[in-house]
Amino acid sequence: MKNIVLVGFMGTGKTEVGRELSRLLGMRFIDLDSEIEKSEGMSIKEIFKRFGEKYFRDAESREVERISKVDNVVISTGGGVVLREENMEHLRGNGIIVGLFASPEVIISRVKNSNERPLLNVPEPIERIKGLLDLRMPFYKKADIRIETNGLTPVEVAEKILKETGWKG
């Protein structure tokens, strides 16, 4: 069975929805950011602080290549994974790409209490979110399936994904 790969901006629900999907389908769940933290031996926040975004994106690409070879898993990616075409080629080669979307206002409400979001450590995070969304939206829209998550629980989003894919939970 192919993988289900969740892409989308931070705060759109990728991790929680991924956990729910894996539970419903009896598939293993892989959180890409957690895998990067394991392989690098430090948090994402620390990677950004010590080495910068390019280093992080390189580590992310290495993990994408490795994980995309695994079968029958639900993969939650980081929000910027879509920025490198080779990442998407690897993930699409063995999976269906599901894009999760939410409004900037919903995103900020979901992530405002987290200090683990290095790209939002700025004076006006809502403006940063809007700018990053504008930049990344063309990449997110390349998903095979698109799901709006505003006002939905992770269970409801997972059920919508099952309906769209035709997979049985």
CB contact at 8 A, 7 and 82: yes
Confidence of residue 168 (pLDDT cuts 50, 70, 90): confident
Confidence of residue 41 (pLDDT cuts 50, 70, 90): very high
State the pLDDT at residue 119.
Answer: 58
pLDDT (tens digit per residue) in 42-88: 999 899 999 999 999 999 999 999 999 999 999 999 999 999 999 99
- Tokens (6 digits) for 150: 């505003």
State the pLDDT at residue 167.
Answer: 82
Class assignment of domain 3-156?
alpha beta
State the pLDDT at residue 45.
Answer: 87
d(CA 47, CA 64): 17
State the pLDDT at residue 64.
Answer: 97
Query: Roughly what angle, to the nearest 10 degrees, separates helices 53-67 and 85-93?
Result: 20
State the pLDDT at residue 116.
Answer: 63
State the pLDDT at residue 166.
Answer: 84
Output 100 or 129, whichever has higher pLDDT.
100
Task: Using the predicted structure, report yes or no on whether residue 98 has a pLDDT greater than 80.
Answer: yes
pLDDT (tens digit per residue) in 101-154: 999 999 988 887 666 665 566 677 788 889 999 999 999 999 999 999 999 999
- Residue ranges per domain, the chain? 3-156
Task: Using the predicted structure, report yes or no on whether residue 89 has a pLDDT greater than 90.
Answer: yes
State the pLDDT at residue 115.
Answer: 64
Edge-to-edge strands of the sheet including 145-148?
28-31, 73-76, 3-8, 95-101, 145-148
